[in-house]
A and B are shown apart, each in its own frame.
Chain A
Amino acid sequence: MNMKIKGPVIKFGNNVDTDVILPGKYLTLVDPHELAKHALESVDTDFPQKAKKGVVVVGGKNFGCGSSREQAPLALKYAGVKCVLAESFARIFFRNAINIGLPVIECKGISAAVETGDELAVDFEAGKVENVSNGKKFQVEKLPPFILEILADGGLIENLRRRMNKK
């Protein structure tokens, strides 16, 4: 994974839950590309279309709250979401996203500093976030090295395979 990401923002509010990210009725779909067609459709029917070009999702507080369904971050990743930034994350979503190789980072104050359509640049290793459109910059708490490693490997399974083979 490239630890520097740049893309246009699609912004959401607080408490975006996993039922909204991917409703329960789609949980029998196994192909992540099929899941992606329904990502966030309950709040924005055009989201899957808009995300195709590669976007950065910005959320408010408690992004990804609710169910532990990993299909939620999977749907976002395969829809074209390059990374998710939020004021805070629900812990299961946060872990799930990292585990499937979707970069996520907590960034206090981000909601007020970006609008949908702004260009955002994120450097995960340096912990730097910049709204290229208006010049606002943030220094965020860096992810611990072992999490950056999981992301760099593309997810927990790839990371585990590499570590177990090393042994």
Chain B
Amino acid sequence: MIEKRIKMNITEKILAKASGKKEVHPGEIIDASVDMVMVHDLTGPLAVEAFNKIGVQKVWDSQKAVVILDHQVPAESVKAAELHKMMRQFAKDQNIRIYDVGRGGVCHQVMPEKGHVVPGTLIVGADSHTCTYGAFGAFATGIGSTEAASVLATGKIWLRVPEAIKVNVTGRFPKYVTPKDLILSIIGRVSVEGAIYESAEFTGPTIKDMSISGRMTLCNMAVEMGAKNGIIEPDEITRKFLEGRVKILPDFEALRSDKDAVYRRTLDFDVSKMEPQIACPSSVDNVKPVSEVGNVPIEQAFIGSCTNGRIEDLRLAAQVMRGRRVKDGVRALVIPASQEVYKQALDEGLMEVFTDAGAMVCGSACGPCLGGHIGLLAANEVCVSTSNRNFIGRMGSTQASVYLASPATVAASAVTGKITDPRKLETKQ
């Protein structure tokens, strides 16, 4: 007898396993077991306060929780210092792994680097960009502090199984066109609320050839179109990155979307003729080709964040900046996403390139992305950034403007002092 089995996509397969079911359907509410939960220095303290009110003494599984200090490190105020102290104490009391100042970096970079992201698992984090881990074939989504406290106490979370959209990508990237340009282009088409509650699965030949770094950039920004998670089937590229970081890797075959799996809709993108893209103020879907923005002088350029602070991003920025100088009147900030990336950039001589160019390299942390720590903007200033949000007031003054682009575009803009298509910069002779 042939067993009749419902066709599922990778997200549904992971959610079915996590809820102990054979199959799940979009719209269904499940009670799922969590494999890993992460909190950081801005969401952790509220979670700890809430956890203490529940009345349990210990977290459900100390091996399945991680604390990362990254948003306001090193402490920028006494208040932040107190919150960090609270998180260190909690981690110590609960025997939870903590990545302190100088030991980790931006949470979404540190989690996979340190082996806390396993394909096929269910991960929640008290940060909206937790969806980054979908790049490794995990189901990962952001939650709030109180919910994190509940997970810490019970190991469970309720989830509504999302409808899925498929983003099919073909073509080879032209020079200076990157996964960041692709995801901006996708968000520009879908809109900031076009994938609300949905799962966004990235697939197609371009994705299969894409590095882990590029895949992380894509999944990282899935939340910017409202998606619950971004996800990519794990493959040999995933295995290569995770080997030596994760103890036991699961069978990737079980994590493939079935051929006839159901998607609400499919979006096709061809990158072969794509130009560098930029999200203009003050919405992530206000996207156009860099070549169409006109003359926009800038005061600050930021290269870093969980979206684009990896070694590939720094290499690309250095390639553009090598032998050039940051324009007078512009401040360029470069922030490697983690200590591992920092060290690699040092070894490869990239730090020398940035320093010679007159850029300031800061320690691995979230930096100016969230406007809560260093590198804030004054009224009427313009920043072009490799990060993920350009909302009003995001990086400082409510009168400042933020443009989002790739590391190549941001580096080129830092050099010319205005928003610049990197293809327009002549290669240094």
Q: Does A39 contact B (CB under 8 A)?
A: no
Main secondary structure of the interface of B (DSSP, over half): loop
A54 to chain B: closest CB distance in Å?
23
Please give, as numbers and ranges, the residues of chain A lying within 8 Å of B398 by CB-CB distance: 23, 42
* One of B52-60, B239-247, B302-310 at the interface: B52-60
Please give, as numbers and ranges, the residues of chain B lying within 8 Å of A14 by CB-CB distance: 193
Please give, as numbers and ranges, the residues of chain A lying within 8 Å of B50 by CB-CB distance: 156-157
Please give, as numbers and ranges, the residues of chain B lying within 8 Å of A144 by CB-CB distance: 29
Q: Does A70 contact B (CB under 8 A)?
A: yes
Cβ-neighbour of A91 out of B130, B196, B396 (below 8 A) = B196
- Chain A residues 11 to 62 lying within 8 A of chain B, measured CB to CB, are 14-15, 17, 19-20, 23-25, 27-30, 42-43, 61-62
Residue contact B370 to A67, C-beta cutoff 8 Å: yes
Please give, as numbers and ranges, the residues of chain A lying within 8 Å of B149 by CB-CB distance: 157
Total A-B residue contacts, Cβ distance less than 8 Å: 128
**Cα distance, A81 to B94, chains bound together (Å):** 36
Residue contact B147 to A95, C-beta cutoff 8 Å: yes
Residue contact B146 to A157, C-beta cutoff 8 Å: yes
Q: Shortest 8 CB-CB distances between A and B: which pairs?
A: A62-B193, A96-B144, A24-B372, A70-B144, A28-B79, A99-B146, A24-B370, A68-B128
Q: Which residues of A contact B (CB under 8 A)?
A: 14-15, 17, 19-20, 23-25, 27-30, 42-43, 61-62, 65-71, 88, 90-92, 95-96, 99-100, 144, 146, 155-157, 160-161, 164-165
**CB<8 Å pairs between A and B, sample of 16:** A17-B389, A20-B392, A20-B393, A25-B376, A30-B46, A30-B49, A43-B392, A61-B193, A66-B389, A66-B391, A67-B389, A95-B143, A156-B50, A157-B150, A160-B54, A161-B53
Other A-B pairs beyond A61-B193, A68-B128, A96-B146, 11, CB < 8 Å: A28-B42, A28-B372, A29-B79, A62-B192, A70-B43, A91-B197, A92-B143, A96-B145, A100-B144, A156-B50, A157-B150
